[in-house]
Structure 1
Amino acid sequence: MYALVDAVAFYASAEKVFDPSIRFKPVVVLTNNDGCICAVCPIARKLNIPKFQPYFKIKHFLTQHNVVVRSSNYELYADLSERMMTVINRFCDNHYVYSIDESFLRFTGFSNIIDDWSAYGSTIRQAVWRETGLPVGVGFGPTPTLAKAANHAAKKLSGFNGIAVIYDETSRQNILARMDVTDVWGIGSRLGKQLKFMGIKSALDLAKQNPKKMRRMFSVVVERTVSELNGISCLSWDEVKQNKKEVFSTRSFGERVSDINTLKSALVTHAAIVGRKLRKQHSLTKRIVIFASSSPHEGSYYKKSLLYDFPIATSDTSVLAKAVSDVINEIFKVNTRFYRCGIGAIELESEHFQQSDMFSVSADKPQVMQCIDTINKRYGVGALSLASEKLTQTWNMKRAFLSPHYTTRWSDIPLIKCD
């Protein structure tokens, strides 16, 4: 048996954990630079607020209905996600974190232990709520795709209260018949249009198709999806996640940047993020791409990117920052309003199998980087950073409705007063 556990409107729910004053109010969360709506809590859904709608278009509507607006607080979400996954991990013998708010559980040999999967799902939900304050939905099924379908039913179909189980043919057909084909895991909107043109409108319609025929017409992925919907397990996850083959950090500015020091500060910050990601997966980079551009919607569009090769592969933030200093004059252009910049590590190798160079000495200081990572993990990202990251912060992402960093910043820890 498999299960999928995910949070209900995770970003919006996370905002309510440490702020009881908004717990029973409609809440929406915005994307980077407060651009679009990316999360809508169940209360706000009743107002028919669409996701990914530009904030400025419905600002007055939100104000009119007293909707609480929050900027994305990634530090808070990451910490709550880790706590949620730690709780969920206790309830299975194989746990795979699929995304920041979703995880698959696989139960091997649990059939003789668990008689009531619904009751077990309720236990999981209660534990997550009690220890994190996050509402979750739990779906059980004999394959990952059916577990995903059950999770969809648990949260969005009537007759289920956060828990759904596909345990026999009747429950399988009942849930799949009520699901749109685009609600099936792996079936996107474009593919869904093609399937509906063929008369395949529901998940059950898709399950009734011949897998081999679906493979010939579409892909092996669709073939496996059809098999999974019929209870034949085809999908699996690696016991250990594969490392990323490329690591990027890029973001648009909160306001336009037109001086070289501000652009350098932003690029060095991206270098620090790339270095941290590389060290986390024990990788080194031999080559990086450094780029910056103005907005394509403004006149005289400008974009510049440069490749920078290291004599010895590195993950040291100071070495990556020096690369920025070496090329900043080539990237910067006078009288240009920069809109976006970033750094990407595009040629990676494992630090455990590094090929040394007889004629070059590595400039990396692994002990220093380990010290920085340890301090930042304990006191929050940014507690310790390079001085060149702090030249100016005017380029920072706009987050006008940012909530406190309740769990990652000492000054924001909630205070409890007992009379």
Structure 2
Amino acid sequence: MFALVDANSFYASAEKVFDPSIRRKPVVVLTNNDGCICAMCERAKQTGVKKFGPYHEVKDQLAKFGCVIRSSNYELYDDLSTKMMDVVARFAPEQHVYSIDECFLQFSGFVPESGWEVYGQDIRRAVWREVRLPVGVGIASTPTLAKAASHAGKRLPGFHRGIAVIDSPVVREQILQQMQTQDVWGVGKKIAQRLTFMGINNAWQLACASPKAMRKQFSVEVERTVRELNGETCLAWTETRAAKQQIFSTRAFGEKVTDYTSLRQSLCLHAEHVGAKARRQKSAVKAIQFFARANPFQPDQYYHKSCIHRFAVPTSDTTQLVLAATEAALQIFKLGVVFHKSGAGAIELVQNEFIQTDLFDSNPERPELMACMDHINRKYGAHTLGVAAKGIQPKWRMRRAYLSPQYTTQWKDIPKIECK
């Protein structure tokens, strides 16, 4: 059996962990530079405001409903995610972290005496007791069905308390009959539209389709999805999250940038992010692209330029990527331009085991140094250790006007309790 454990409205729920005063209030979390809405708790969703819309357009409407606004506190979210995963890991011999707010558990040869539903509730209670995050649990015989069970526990009538278990053909059909095809893991909106034209309107009809026909019509991934919906495990841990073919880090400036130093610092910061993400998936960068542009909504002053740096030997060493960023800044910067956004992207990646080294490479890899830096940043919080080239508290950094304290990663923000 497999279980999917995922946090409910993770960003919004994380904001409530150390601030009990807002636990019963509608909470809205904004994206980088406080531009758009990226997360809402259930109370906030009841206002009718949609996610991913520009914040300035609904600011007054949210204020009328008494919504609490928060900027994205990535340092807090990352730390709470780690704590949540540590608690969940105790409940199964194998765990696979799928994203910041969800993970899979595999129970090989294990059946709880209390039953799967009670066991799922034990997981939910443990996470709430130790981390104060509400989570949902879906349990089934395959990862795809576990995803479907998780969906049912949160959204489908007849299931409640945040948990659903698919342990019989009857329950499987009951859940899949109520699921739209686009809600099935591995089926996006485009594939769902094509399925609709074929007369397949829900997950149960998809499960009843011929796997071979789905492979011929779509791909082997859709065939696997059909087989998984019928209880046949087709996905291994390594396949539930494939390595990215490209990695990008981009961001609009919090303030206008007109000088070379600020532009160079921003490109170095993005290069550092790309390197860390590449190492996380055991990849190396063969080619990296840097860019910067002015505000596209001011066409009379618009400027955009990019350049590509290719490495003789693929690398994930941050220092090498930062050197490339420094060279790129010289090519991209133009006096008189008001830069609005910059970024870096690894456009060609190679898995570490396939790297062809060069005996005469003048820039050898330093995996021990990079591993040490990654370890420190995981333990003490993101950006604890980094390259000086990205600057220290630069003025152009991301605008976060509604940022909550970083309770678990900054000494100055540790909650203070007065005992009287």
Fold shared by both chains (TM-score > 0.5): yes
Contact 2:26–2:68 (CA under 8 A) maintained in structure 1: yes
1:8 partner amino acid:
N
Corresponding residue for residue 35 of structure 1: 35
Alignment of 1:64 onto 2:76:
no
CA distance in 2, matches of 1:33, 1:340: 11
Cα deviation for residue 242 of structure 1 reads 6.3
CA distance in 2, matches of 1:40, 1:248: 25
Contact 1:180–1:203 (CA under 8 A) maintained in structure 2: yes
Deviates more, 1:200-209 or 1:283-292: 283-292
Contact 1:265–1:392 (CA under 8 A) maintained in structure 2: no
Corresponding residue for residue 341 of structure 2: 340
Corresponding residue for residue 214 of structure 1: 214
Contact 1:319–1:363 (CA under 8 A) maintained in structure 2: no
Q: Deviation digits for residues 199-249 of structure 1, max 9, x if unmatched? A: 332222222223233333333322222222222222222299765554432
Contact 1:246–1:348 (CA under 8 A) maintained in structure 2: no
Give aligned pairs, total. Answer: 417
Cα deviation for residue 412 of structure 1 reads 0.9
1:124 partner amino acid:
I
Alignment of 1:85 onto 2:85:
yes
Corresponding residue for residue 23 of structure 1: 23
CA distance in 2, matches of 1:370, 1:210: 47
Question: What SS does structure 2 have at the residue aligned with 1:232?
Answer: coil
Cα deviation for residue 311 of structure 1 reads 5.2
Question: What SS does structure 2 have at the residue aligned with 1:291?
Answer: strand
| CA-based RMSD | 2.6
Corresponding residue for residue 417 of structure 1: 418
Contact 2:96–2:105 (CA under 8 A) maintained in structure 1: yes
Alignment of 1:141 onto 2:140:
yes
Corresponding residue for residue 259 of structure 2: 259
2:352 partner amino acid:
S
Deviates more, 1:49-58 or 1:297-306: 297-306
Alignment of 1:350 onto 2:352:
yes
Q: List gaps (5 residues or longer) in structure 1.
A: none
CA distance in 1, matches of 2:167, 2:370: 50
Corresponding residue for residue 75 of structure 1: 75
Q: Deviation digits for residues 65-95 of structure 1, max 9, x if unmatched? A: 0001111111111111111111111111221
Question: What SS does structure 2 have at the residue aligned with 1:297?
Answer: coil
Cα deviation for residue 328 of structure 1 reads 2.0
CA distance in 1, matches of 2:286, 2:124: 45
Q: TM-score, normalised by structure 2?
A: 0.90
Q: Deviation digits for residues 263-289 of structure 1, max 9, x if unmatched? A: 111112222223333455555445432
Cα deviation for residue 350 of structure 1 reads 2.8
Cα deviation for residue 383 of structure 1 reads 3.5
2:204 partner amino acid:
L
CA distance in 2, matches of 1:285, 1:197: 41
Corresponding residue for residue 127 of structure 2: 128
Q: Percent identity?
A: 51
Corresponding residue for residue 406 of structure 1: 407
Deviates more, 1:135-144 or 1:195-204: 195-204
Question: What SS does structure 2 have at the residue aligned with 1:51?
Answer: coil
Corresponding residue for residue 306 of structure 1: 307
Contact 1:262–1:392 (CA under 8 A) maintained in structure 2: no
Deviates more, 1:378-387 or 1:99-108: 378-387
Alignment of 1:10 onto 2:23:
no
Question: What SS does structure 1 have at the residue aligned with 2:85?
Answer: helix
Cα deviation for residue 38 of structure 1 reads 1.4
CA distance in 1, matches of 2:63, 2:296: 31
Alignment of 1:161 onto 2:161:
yes
Q: TM-score, normalised by structure 1?
A: 0.90
Corresponding residue for residue 202 of structure 1: 202
Corresponding residue for residue 96 of structure 1: 96
CA distance in 2, matches of 1:407, 1:368: 25
